[in-house]
Structure 1
Amino acid sequence: MKLVEDLRTHRLVAIVRGTDPRTTLASVITLVGEGVTLVEVSLTSKDALSVLAEARAVLGPHAPLGAGTVLTAGDARAAHRAGADFVVTPAVCEGISAARDLGLPVLAGAMTPSEVVEVLRLGADAVKLFPAASAGGAVHLRALRGPFPQVPFVPVGGVDAAVARSCLDAGAVAVGVGSPLLGDAADGGDMDALRLRARAFLRAVAPERADR
């Protein structure tokens, strides 16, 4: 997959993390059905690799499916075997270079300028600005875009609809959203409520039309 192009096009990465494999899988399928194209299953989820493999089987070979919280080379290899198309890390770690060696694009976590330089050196395709909301959101993003104007940034962490809009307006290529989007759906909660939140976030990240 062309990760950066997909991020620019779809502008939203859903982060699914759950304690119930059945409803974690159902959440992935529900999000894709509502039009959330980029979905990441965190490896901290219960039976995450099985969820990834089952989601791949249900969605087919062409749906972009990511593995999140990839830290080690073993994590990257396991995600690749389970059918992940891309990996997401929370920090500078060996999972970045290991995923690149496997041909998987990487959205790598960083917060400081030094970390941005390091994840790019290791081969990251885009930078996950994490944790975004608690560290200044759009203000911090604008500061980083000064020395790194060409870097594709994806703010993640505490991103609700308002923060998503402000970060996209500040130059983010996309945002990553976990609990504000998922709620308790992946833990056995209300799937209808998840559908409504998905539609609301898709509206929030949609590009504004020039004729409005």
Structure 2
Amino acid sequence: MFKENVILASSSPRRIDMMRQHGIQPIIMPADVDETIPEGAGMADAVMYLALKKALFVEEKVLSSDHNNPVIVAADTVVYSDKIIGKPKNRQDAYDILWDLKGKSHFVATGVCLLQAGTSIRHCFCEVTKVFFKDFTTQELNAYLDTPEPYDKAGAYAIQGEFGRYVDHIEGDLDNVIGFPWKRIEKEAEKLFK
């Protein structure tokens, strides 16, 4: 497993914290890429495509600097329920997304790309978790939308935050819903970087 010379292609506080909790002090290098998903892409292909795009963007920056073949970790998360749902555009969009998901289940997919700059090591995978929401009222939803929490999250909610009280249960990895399936990342990295 990699421990040093790791670049995280994200400024997500949740992803940064998770790496640090596991003893990795990554170099933070957010990838500034167009996150438009190719038309017709399914949930898994969409997140792996965006994770790879972010990793390649950072690799290009790294190869023109003095970093010594670092491992780049990039990820992208979407919510899926009949269609791919990214981050909300505004309050009304966040309201519509969450109101549509209430009392039902949906999927959270995170695509991860592990890449060693300047080598042929490039590995992408997708982890999927099923999330079940409880019912909630208009008043409860509006109170949640008054907080800053929903606006930078795929699906307009944070399971580890205020909205957790409206999650009935999940099937799969909680870390994946937070946006970084750590157990799977470790498993894949151990195979790649022995």
Task: Name the structure where strand makes up a greater proportion of residues.
Answer: 2
- Does the TM-score normalized on the shorter chain lie above 0.5? no
Task: Name the structure where helix makes up a greater proportion of residues.
Answer: 1
Greater Rg, structure 1 or structure 2? 2
TM-score when scaled to structure 1?
0.29
TM-score when scaled to structure 2?
0.31
